[in-house]
């Protein structure tokens, strides 16, 4: 019925069916598909059709190029792998031969056919439909020109853990400006909480703090701690970011970081943040001694002055008058070209497994509590004692996989807990000589020097019980269990139930996505997996990019990993950003949505839907408009617009319907029953 656009020029289509070695040809009769296309799709405009061993090889690409020139092709269909993989390759070949690259269409007969269809006959038929769909569609393709955007050389990094720190330094060292936004009073992330790091047992602070101070002093890094990103607008090359710098009640320019205010503050509270409830801090505090930056933060909820209106001890003693009780939050607007999200992880809440007694039995600790306990800069100066603060444990149980690899909680492996549990076993052995039991499901020590570390811990005499712990209880069944915590587990190697009485239990809780990862993903226009980790553009080939151009991800924000992997990702994301900055300008896929003004009724149905905030309403005309540079061509609004007023380049009604018609084409010879 509606407006059917006639294709520009009479189509002369070349069809190329790829064998992909045996990947496709092993299941699909590629020669038959090629011959069939030449014969049956002639009327639509197919002038030649070939099959070829590897279309993506230089020889395959040259074939397309020479055919375009020799046979005057104006459309190309490549039936091969997913366009995610090789669309660029084949578009490139077309472009080299002088054709607009957007006249090239792919039919994914590998991912969508040969890899998922066993029956050879059906796979061949299905490939024919896919080719027919692509041929029918490509007729309606239009010449498109890529959109060019300039890249602002400043970068925003969100999250100052080791991954964010690494990325910030890499970029800043190339001479480009970085804004590093960290939610907590200091950068450092989880690594700052540890005593030692596996497998080398370096002191965590010793390797981390030099990096932290480098960040603090770097002329190209604008460090904004105790800050949060409030709003992000814009698109790759040109993001407008609003940052809220929360009030510290301390004037940074005047503070020398002497710490006298902290000393003089009369209020001591449990440190639930950095100290995970083990240890204390003052109402004005820096989370740890080597904090960067080292100006303190005033905790208004616990400060006597804010509660009762008197005290002001800190203000009195501050030599430089740096305390400002009236200080307000500050709103900072910056424009950046690229953004790296390195927001890290949270830990599984051990209370969700009441059978392990965390929160009920004082001597059941979480892994992070233990990190603080054994930390030389922690509340006990690194002495390993029970919750009473004095008694050294004589026996310790370390439980792996708490909340990980567990249908009821997180089905994934948290990747670091095996090594972290082995690290704890070693530390306990070294400092207490206690008897140690590690309860594990499988030991996963795959990275460099990890298994060697495992051997070392075995040699030290740690006992390993293979089996998931069923329960931790303080109800004794015999004298030996009296006054102890009893760890009950099935020893799957010995094939028996064990009850092991111990003084202390450490739960190696799993890693979880940040509690606000969904909101952060939404704010930056990226997506999360069903588990909540940020989704990569490609899990193998592009692990630090996202589907949104200009937004990169690094570290544990994309999934559990150890420090070396987090650092590598920080560097990788930085490299991606630096290459964009060096390019100065980026070509974007011109697959975009636009509104036909006369058709739009201004119903506003689409107005709140764009994941990239590309949709704006023009009040005086009462119509909707789409910002071309912001739009990523996702198609959400195209589908939603009830008036059909939004068209997606590359996804027009004509193209989609033609493709469906091709796919539905009935060419099978009826089976004889």
Partner 1 sequence: MTGKPKFAMYWAASCGGCEIATLNMHEKILDFDANFKVVFWPVAMDAKYKDVEAMEDGEILVTLFNGGIRNSENEHIAKLLRKKSQILVSFGSCAIEGGIPGLANLTEMHHFFDTVYTTVSTDNTNNHRPQVEYDMPEGKITIPEFKPVLQTLDQVVDVDYYMPGCPPETHQIAAVIDVLISVVKGEAVLPPKGSFLGVGNSTVCDECGRTRNLKKITEFKRIQDIKKIDPDLCLIEQGILCNGPATASGCESKCPSVNAPCAGCYGPAIGVKDFGARMITAIASVIDAEDPDEIERIMDGIIDPAGTFYRFGLANSMMRTGKASWNGK
Ligand X SMILES: Cc1cc2nc3c(=O)[nH]c(=O)nc-3n(C[C@H](O)[C@H](O)[C@H](O)COP(=O)(O)OP(=O)(O)OC[C@H]3O[C@@H](n4cnc5c(N)ncnc54)[C@H](O)[C@@H]3O)c2cc1C
Structure tokens at 46: 């197919």
Q: How far apart are CA 481 and CA 316, in angstroms?
A: 56
Chain residues 567-596 in contact with ligand SF4, contact rule CB under 6 A: 593, 595
Per-residue contact flags (x/-) with ligand SF4 for residues 638 to 667, judged by CB under 6 A: x--x-x-xx-x-------------------
Q: From the CB of 643, what's the least distance to ligand SF4, in Å?
A: 4
Q: Which of 87, 85, 69 is nearest to 138 (CA)?
A: 87
89 vs 517, beta carbon nearer ligand X:
517
Asked if residue 367 binds ligand X (CB under 6 A), the reply is yes
User: Could you say which of ligand SF4, ligand X, partner 1, none residue 189 binds, taking C-beta under 5 to 8 angstroms by partner kind?
Assistant: ligand X
Structure tokens at 38: 């030449």
Q: Rule CB under 8 A: choose which of 600, 629, 631, 634 binds partner 1.
A: 600
Chain residues 228-267 in contact with ligand X, contact rule CB under 6 A: 228
In order, the DSSP letters of 78-117 are EEES-HHHHHHHHHHHHHHTTS-GGGEEEEETIIIIITT-
Asked if residue 388 binds partner 1 (CB under 8 A), the reply is no
Q: Rule CB under 6 A: choose which of 99, 339, 397, 520 binds ligand X.
A: 520
Q: From the CB of 656, what's the least distance to ligand SF4, in Å?
A: 14
Assess whether the previous peptide bond of 293 is cis (omega < 30° from 0).
yes
270 vs 639, beta carbon nearer partner 1:
639
Asked if residue 669 binds partner 1 (CB under 8 A), the reply is no
CB 233 within 8 A of CB 334: no
Q: Rule CB under 8 A: choose which of 217, 270, 331, 639 binds partner 1.
A: 639
Q: How far apart are CA 106 and CA 649, in angstroms?
A: 16
Q: Rule CB under 6 A: choose which of 97, 99, 113, 162 binds ligand X.
A: 162
Q: Contact region for partner 1 (CB under 8 A) — 16-24, 58-66, 446-454, 641-649? A: 641-649
43 vs 479, beta carbon nearer partner 1:
43
Exposed / middle / buried, residue 455 (Cβ in 10 Å: 0-12, 13-18, 19+): exposed
Q: From the CB of 646, what's the least distance to partner 1, in Å?
A: 8
Q: How far apart are CA 398 and CA 440, in angstroms?
A: 9
Per-residue contact flags (x/-) with partner 1 for residues 83 to 122, judged by CB under 8 A: ----------------------------------------
Q: How far apart are CA 90 and CA 353, in angstroms?
A: 53
Asked if residue 41 binds partner 1 (CB under 8 A), the reply is yes
CB 275 within 8 A of CB 372: yes
Which residue is listed with tokens 């102890």? 484
388 vs 619, beta carbon nearer partner 1:
619
- Cα 509 to Cα 18, 160, 210: the distances in Å are 48, 22, 29
Exposed / middle / buried, residue 309 (Cβ in 10 Å: 0-12, 13-18, 19+): exposed
Sign for the CA dihedral angle at 513, 515, 407, 471 comes to: positive
Q: Rule CB under 8 A: choose which of 2, 390, 496, 672 binds partner 1.
A: 2
DSSP tag of 656: H
Asked if residue 164 binds ligand X (CB under 6 A), the reply is yes
Which residue is listed with tokens 């650092």? 567
Asked if residue 636 binds ligand SF4 (CB under 6 A), the reply is yes
Strand partners, 588: 147
Residue 244's Cα: distance from chain center in Å? Answer: 23
327 vs 627, beta carbon nearer ligand SF4:
627
Structure tokens at 562: 């150890």
Asked if residue 435 binds ligand X (CB under 6 A), the reply is no
Asked if residue 198 binds ligand X (CB under 6 A), the reply is yes
As a whole number of Å, the CA-based R_g of the chain is 31
Q: How far apart are CA 472 and CA 490, in angstroms?
A: 13
User: How many chain residues touch ligand X (CB under 6 A)?
Assistant: 37
CB 571 within 8 A of CB 593: no
Q: Rule CB under 8 A: choose which of 206, 217, 470, 603 binds partner 1.
A: 603
394 vs 621, beta carbon nearer ligand SF4:
621
118 vs 448, beta carbon nearer ligand X:
448
Q: Contact region for ligand X (CB under 6 A) — 62-70, 137-145, 160-168, 573-581? A: 160-168
Q: Rule CB under 8 A: choose which of 473, 647, 649, 651 binds partner 1.
A: 647
CB 536 within 8 A of CB 553: yes
Instruction: Please list the alpha-helical segments (H only) found in 218-334.
Output: 260-264, 304-308, 313-317
Per-residue contact flags (x/-) with partner 1 for residues 546 to 585, judged by CB under 8 A: ----------------------------------------
Asked if residue 1 binds partner 1 (CB under 8 A), the reply is yes
Asked if residue 633 binds ligand SF4 (CB under 6 A), the reply is yes
Q: Rule CB under 6 A: choose which of 50, 248, 444, 514 binds ligand X.
A: 514
In order, the DSSP letters of 553-580 are E-GGGGS---HHHHHHHHHHHHHHHHHH
Tell me the helix, strand and coil percentages in the chain, rounded to 5: 30, 25, 45
* Strand ranges, E, within 306-434: 330-336, 338-341, 345-347, 364-366, 395-402
Per-residue contact flags (x/-) with partner 1 for residues 648 to 667, judged by CB under 8 A: -----x---x---xx-xxxx
Residues of this chain that interact with partner 1 (CB under 8 A) are: 1-3, 40-41, 43, 132, 596, 598-609, 636, 639-645, 647, 653, 657, 661-662, 664-667
What does the binding site for ligand SF4 look like in residue numbers (CB under 6 A)?
593, 595, 600-606, 609-610, 612, 614-615, 624, 626, 631-638, 641, 643, 645-646, 648
Which residues are near ligand X by CB under 6 A? 158-164, 181-184, 189-191, 194, 197-198, 228, 342-345, 347, 367-368, 371, 416, 420, 423, 514, 520, 555-556, 561-563, 566
């Amino acid at each position: 019925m509606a407006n059917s656009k006639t294709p520009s020029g009479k189509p002369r289509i070349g069809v190329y069916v790829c064998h992909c070695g045996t990947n496709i040809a092993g299941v699909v009769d590629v020669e038959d598909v090629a011959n069939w296309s030449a014969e049956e799709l002639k009327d639509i405009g197919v002038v030649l059709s070939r099959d070829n061993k590897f279309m993506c090889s230089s020889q395959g690409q040259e074939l397309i190029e020479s055919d375009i020139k020799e046979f005057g092709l104006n459309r190309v269909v490549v039936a091969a792998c997913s366009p995610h993989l090789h669309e660029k390759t084949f578009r490139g070949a077309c472009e080299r031969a002088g054709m607009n690259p957007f006249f090239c269409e792919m039919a994914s007969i590998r991912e969508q056919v040969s890899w998922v269809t066993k029956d050879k006959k059906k796979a061949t038929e299905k490939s024919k439909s896919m080719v027919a769909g692509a041929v029918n569609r490509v007729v309606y393709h239009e010449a498109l020109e890529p959109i060019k955007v300039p890249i602002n050389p400043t970068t925003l990094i969100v999250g100052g853990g080791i991954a964010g720190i690494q990325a910030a330094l890499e970029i800043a060292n190339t001479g480009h400006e970085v804004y590093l936004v960290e939610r907590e009073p200091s950068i450092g992330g989880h690594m700052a909480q540890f005593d030692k790091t596996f497998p080398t047992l370096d002191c965590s602070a010793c390797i981390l703090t030099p990096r932290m101070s480098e960040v603090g002093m770097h002329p190209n890094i604008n460090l904004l701690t105790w800050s949060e990103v409030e709003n992000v607008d814009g698109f790759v090359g040109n993001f407008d970011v609003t940052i809220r710098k929360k009030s510290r009640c301390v004037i940074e320019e005047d503070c020398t970081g002497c710490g006298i205010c902290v000393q003089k503050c009369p209020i001591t509270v449990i440190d639930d943040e950095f100290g995970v409830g083990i240890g204390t801090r003052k109402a004005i505090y820096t989370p740890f001694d080597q904090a960067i930056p080292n100006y303190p933060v005033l905790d208004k909820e616990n400060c006597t002055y804010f509660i009762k209106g008197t005290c002001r001890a800190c203000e009195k003693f501050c030599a430089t008058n740096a305390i400002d009780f009236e200080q307000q939050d500050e709103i900072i607007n910056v424009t950046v070209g690229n953004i790296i999200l390195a927001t890290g992880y949270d830990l599984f809440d051990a209370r969700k497994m009441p059978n392990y007694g965390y929160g009920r039995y004082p001597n059941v600790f979480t892994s992070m509590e233990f990190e603080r306990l054994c930390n030389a800069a922690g509340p006990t100066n690194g002495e390993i004692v029970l919750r009473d603060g004095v008694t050294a444990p004589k026996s310790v149980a370390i439980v792996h996989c708490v909340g990980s690899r567990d249908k009821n909680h997180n089905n994934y492996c948290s990747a670091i807990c095996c090594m972290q549990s082995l690290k704890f076993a070693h530390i306990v052995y070294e400092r207490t000589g206690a008897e140690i039991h590690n309860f594990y499901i499988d030991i996963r020590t795959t990275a460099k020097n990890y298994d060697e570390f495992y051997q070392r811990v075995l040699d030290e005499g740690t006992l390993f019980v293979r089996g998931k712990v069923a329960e931790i209880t303080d109800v004794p069944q015999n004298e030996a269990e009296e006054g102890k915590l009893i760890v009950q587990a099935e020893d799957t190697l010995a094939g028996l139930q064990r009850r092991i009485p111990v003084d202390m239990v450490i739960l190696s809780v799993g890693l979880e996505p940040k509690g606000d990862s969904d909101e952060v993903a939404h704010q930056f226009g990226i997506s999360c997996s069903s588990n909540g980790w940020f989704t990569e553009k490609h899990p193998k080939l592009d692990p630090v990019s996202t589907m949104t151009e200009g937004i990169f991800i690094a570290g544990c924000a994309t999934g559990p990993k150890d420090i070396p992997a987090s650092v590598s990702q920080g560097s990788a994301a930085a490299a991606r950003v630096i290459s964009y900055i060096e390019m100065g300008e980026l070509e974007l896929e011109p697959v975009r949505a636009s509104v036909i003004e006369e058709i739009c009724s201004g119903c506003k149905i689409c107005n709140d839907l764009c994941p990239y905030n590309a949709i704006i309403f023009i009040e005086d005309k009462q119509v909707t408009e789409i910002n071309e540079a912001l739009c990523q061509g996702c198609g959400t609004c195209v589908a939603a617009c009830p008036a059909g007023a939004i068209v997606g380049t590359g996804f027009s009604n004509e193209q989609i319907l033609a493709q469906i018609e091709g796919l539905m084409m009935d060419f099978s010879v009826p089976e004889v029953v």
